[in-house]
Amino acid sequence: MSHPHPDLGPPPPLPVNGLRIVALGGLGEIGRNMAVFEFDGRLLIVDCGVLFPEPDQPGVDLILPDFDYIRDRLDDIEAVVLTHAHEDHIGAVPYLLRERADLPLVGSKLTLALIESKLTEHRIQPVKREVVEGERHRFGPFECEFFAVNHSIPDALAVAIRTAAGIVLHTGDFKMDQLPMDGRLTDLGGFARLGTEGVDLLMSDSTNSEVPGFVTSERDIAPVIDEVYRNADKRVIVACFASHVHRVQQALDAAEKHGRKVALMGRSMVRNMGVARDLGYLRVPPGLMVDSREIEEWPPEDVVLICTGSQGEPMAALSRMANRDHQIRIAEGDTVLLASSLVPGNETAVNKVINGLTRWGARVIHKGNARVHVSGHAAAGELLYVLNLTRPSNFMPVHGEWRHLRAHAKLAALTGVPDDHIVIAEDGVVVDLLDGRAKIVGAVQAGYVYVDGTSVGGVTDVALKDRRILGDEGFISIVLVVDSTTGKLTGGPEVHARGSGIDLDAFEEVIPLLEKSLQEAALDGVADVQQMRRLVRRTVGRWVSDTYRRRPMIIPVVVEV
């Protein structure tokens, strides 16, 4: 197996009839999915998603792929193929279109409708090209064939990319539900036909590669939801992803069966379900829906609320309900159904929401105590099935953290793919497909780009480190006045502290140490402000560390007179 190396240099020029693949996100992480394909001087992009921030990235709203690799070659891009409409695959599209607004967006009807709805908020009118499974379309030197795949959102697609270098099959996110809600099966026949034709490189979803067997069918969730409604004495509040059309449909069907009215809450939920209903992907029985502003007028036992916030997002509807910061007040006897999987890293936030809801008397049903969600990603048995159907000459696991990529690589080896034809890459690693072999040939920059309010890329890792220190340790500021000629102390030092956990009176101990250090520096002829700041920072920092075992941010302010 080929593994990335930290000392990889820039890649060489792409050989004639070679296909270059560079992932700018999605490898070694769940999110930020974006792959750039290059052939004969032209580029094709598959997906352009965002990554959501971790707790150690305070203030960050979204994390984007780094577009530096393609920024000087925007005119070479033939199209952006979007496999489906989840945020980790389309969320960065508005920021890419800021670089070049007329980039053609290629995708299924629902995918393009949802991205267009998102782009309206950014005041961007996209260039769209709708495709359907079974069709072939040419974008410059890339011939793309599209295949239906089953996922946790309707209308998802896999794409086979044909060039003179060979055939690459990119599965996108998929699973093999044999009884899907919409009757749209993953096109295993199409995959098998490609396998007979010869797949030179398979790039396959790795999210559930560590999970044995096959994923449970979506239909198995319906009886559980029905039971929840049957046993609920008052309101039912269903929280799920704003894009999970199938889960919302199940919630609507159960509400109709039990004679309850339904209100949607959360901007993204209302927007996405409106699009899905208008296009016929969501069936809403007449008279079932009511406006969220009128829901309080209905008896609690006749009400269902469907909202966002299943991942504990601070500003989502469910979190605000748990914090008593929402028009809907959780009451004794309400039932809350968290109908989604738990995204890794969100455990603490979700548990906090569950505790908040329980505090106000709600009964909370979640994946830990009931089968209320099934994954949208293929488990190991399904991944083996696809590997055996396609029989790829080379294999590159995508869409997963390191443990997922390695587990998927082992599955490929079990099916007979030679070890030296299995490429495990990470973001920025350059893979060339040439003469039937996929190899790592170099690396390019593919770091995080942070979105913080209206700032894109303005927040650096250094700034995030400062924020973490401020959040964990607080800060201490020291103001002093010095003679600009001699460097002697003429006023202060005056100490201020916030969040450091140190009483202000305690700083009386450090003031004599500071005065002594500054006097010695003045005698040595030190009059440079920068040197004085370093001296103050070092003196106070050492005292705080030795006395309190803390490391707050220390901000010296030196005023010259």
Residue 348 sits in the same domain as residue 391: no
- What is the per-residue pLDDT across 55-99, written as a single tens digit (0 to 9) for each? 777 777 889 999 999 999 999 999 999 999 999 999 999 999 999
- What is the per-residue pLDDT across 431-448, written as a single tens digit (0 to 9) for each? 999 999 999 999 999 989
Residue 274 sits in the same domain as residue 352: yes
CATH number of domain containing 261 = 3.40.50.10710
Q: Is residue 319 part of a domain?
A: yes
Predicted confidence at residue 275, as pLDDT, reads 95
Q: What is the mean pLDDT of residues 3-23?
A: 87
Residue 187 sits in the same domain as residue 123: yes
Residue 54 sits in the same domain as residue 166: yes
Predicted confidence at residue 345, as pLDDT, reads 63
Predicted confidence at residue 115, as pLDDT, reads 96
Residue 222 sits in the same domain as residue 323: yes
Range of the domain at 229: 218-365
- Asked if residue 248 has pLDDT above 80, the reply is yes
3 state DSSP class of 192: helix
Give 4's pLDDT tier (boundaries 50, 70, 90).
Answer: low
- What is the per-residue pLDDT across 501-539, written as a single tens digit (0 to 9) for each? 888 888 888 888 888 888 887 777 777 778 888 888 888
What total of structural domains would you count in the chain? 3
Residue 337 sits in the same domain as residue 381: no
3 state DSSP class of 398: strand
- What is the per-residue pLDDT across 291-350, written as a single tens digit (0 to 9) for each? 888 888 899 999 999 998 877 677 788 888 988 888 888 999 999 998 877 666 667 778
Predicted confidence at residue 1, as pLDDT, reads 53
How large is the greatest C-alpha to C-alpha distance in the chain, in angstroms? 87
Q: Is residue 294 part of a domain?
A: yes
Q: Is residue 10 part of a domain?
A: no
Predicted confidence at residue 528, as pLDDT, reads 78
Q: Is residue 370 part of a domain?
A: no
Joined together, the tokens standing for residue 45 give 């992009």
Residue 435 sits in the same domain as residue 474: no
Q: Are 29 and 61 in contact (CB under 8 A)?
A: no
Residue 55 sits in the same domain as residue 188: yes
Number of Cβ within a 10 Å radius of residue 24: 28
- What is the per-residue pLDDT across 449-475, written as a single tens digit (0 to 9) for each? 888 877 787 777 777 777 777 778 888
Sort 508 into a burial class: Cβ within 10 Å, 0-12 / 13-18 / 19+: exposed
Q: How far apart are CA 246 and CA 232, in angstroms?
A: 22
- Model pTM score: 0.86
Predicted confidence at residue 351, as pLDDT, reads 86
Q: How far apart are CA 118 and CA 122, in angstroms?
A: 7
Q: How far apart are CA 274 and CA 541, in angstroms?
A: 56
Q: Is residue 456 part of a domain?
A: no
What residue spans of 147-259 are helical by DSSP H?
Answer: 188-197, 222-231, 245-257
Q: Is residue 6 part of a domain?
A: no
Residue 102 sits in the same domain as residue 75: yes
- Asked if residue 35 has pLDDT above 90, the reply is yes
Q: Is residue 2 part of a domain?
A: no
Predicted confidence at residue 342, as pLDDT, reads 65
Domain-ending residue, one of 317, 339, 365:
365
Residue 493 sits in the same domain as residue 357: no
Residues in the chain, total: 561
Q: Is residue 401 part of a domain?
A: yes
Predicted confidence at residue 516, as pLDDT, reads 84
Predicted confidence at residue 398, as pLDDT, reads 97
Q: H-helix or E-strand containing 390?
A: helix 380-390
Edge to edge, the sheet with strand 303-307 lists 261-264, 303-307, 236-239, 335-338, 363-365
Strand-pairing partners, residue 51, are 63
Predicted confidence at residue 487, as pLDDT, reads 67
CATH number of domain containing 516 = 3.10.20.580
Q: Give the C-alpha distances (Å, rounded to integers) separating 247 from 129, 225, 296, 351, 463.
A: 28, 10, 24, 22, 40
Average pLDDT, the chain: 90
Residue 87 sits in the same domain as residue 203: yes
Joined together, the tokens standing for residue 396 give 């590159």
Joined together, the tokens standing for residue 484 give 């600009």
Mapping DSSP onto H, E and C, the string for 133-171 reads CCCEEEECCEEEEEEECECCCCCCEEEEEEECCEEEEEC
CATH number of domain containing 417 = 3.60.15.10
Predicted confidence at residue 561, as pLDDT, reads 77
Domain-ending residue, one of 397, 418, 451:
451
Residue 411 sits in the same domain as residue 467: no
Edge to edge, the sheet with strand 62-64 lists 62-64, 449-452, 455-456
Domain-ending residue, one of 339, 365, 391:
365
